[in-house]
Amino acid sequence: MGIAESILLTIATAATPLLIAALGELVVERSGVLNLGVEGMMVMGAVCGFVAAALTGSPWLGVLAAIVVGALFSLLFGFLTLSVATNQVATGLSLTLLGLGLSGMIGEGFVGQAGQKLPSLYIPGLSDLPLVGRLVFGQDPIFYMSIALTVGIMWFLFRTRAGLTLRSIGDNHASAHALGIPVIAYRYLAVMFGGACAGLAGAHLSLVYTPQWVENMTAGRGWIALALVVFASWRPLRVLAGAYLFGAVTIGQIHVQALGYGIPSQLLSSLPYLATIVVLVLISRNRRLTMMNTPASLGRAFVPDR
């Protein structure tokens, strides 16, 4: 395998969990709900996926468990913010703290154990092609799911009646309710979808990226996914581009460390998060760009009888 092919493969692997988590959050925010609990749902998906795969010997059951746990964990957020109308920001932060603590307790007995790795696709002839073979025909299944999700969400949001309804709720939930649209039901489904995506992203970390369980192994990726949604101005294709950009930054700092330059490793490890801050600052300087596609009802609680 050439150096270029190796770098491209590692970039794709690093970008996949960011892309999946950000796509799920994009759908949630398009419905007008701001869920800051992505990090908590991701880490719960990672630990439950790893534990399920370790106990059953099947990484696919681990993936399924991560998706289900992510969706169920998001229901707690949905109940508090949609049914009880609590503050979405505070509830999302609480969800992240709960997920980090609960995952550490669940995975305590599995730290250091060898995990079940999800096998990569292999097509004789095609997967052996130079440069593009393994990149296109030799990836793990979750990579292909992330691409399918990008295309599917683009089609859903901009080519279907349900997608148009979801976007209308995010733009003006009061008007949507007046037209007889079940706002709370749509938002519950969007929140559960976002939770399932976050769980799947967590499963990629513990079953593909590094097939083991390490406490707090998401390492802030949920926060980067949240920033990606704003960076992409709530457009799926831009989320794809942003995820691979951040994936390249993540892998770039690893290769720089390997080359032995006299740069502190702590500084290099912080580059993805520094890049996140820089991007958000640049976006905030352009108010027109900031407001572009922003759901007008984002973060605002909706109570039908008010």
How is 285-297 classified by DSSP, letter by letter? T-HHHHHTT--TT
**Average pLDDT per run of 10 along the chain, which is 306 residues long?**
75 93 97 96 96 94 97 96 93 95 92 86 78 81 96 96 95 92 96 97 94 90 91 90 87 66 65 74 69 83 76
- Give phi and psi for 173, each to the nearest 5: -70, -30
**Closest alpha carbon to 236 in 158, 144, 139:** 158
Domain membership of residue 253 (yes or no) is no
Q: What is the pTM of this model?
A: 0.91
Identify whether 86 is part of a domain: yes
Residue 60's nearest CA partner among 208, 213, 216 is 208
Question: Is 154 part of any domain?
Answer: yes
Q: What is the pLDDT of residue 245?
A: 87
The rounded distance, in Å, linking the Cα atoms of 159 and 154 is 8
Separation of alpha carbons 57 and 45, rounded Å: 17
Task: Name residues whose C-beta falls within 8 Å of residue 289's C-beta, 6 or more positions apart in sequence.
Answer: 233, 283
Q: How many domains does the chain have?
A: 1
Residue 180 in any domain: the answer is yes
Q: How far apart are CA 91 and CA 93, in angstroms?
A: 5
CATH code, domain with 106:
1.10.3470.10
Q: Give residue 306's pLDDT.
A: 52
Q: Provide the residue range defining the domain that includes 193.
A: 3-117+130-219
Is 24 within the bounds of a domain? Answer: yes
Q: What pLDDT was estimated at residue 255?
A: 63
DSSP state of 179: T
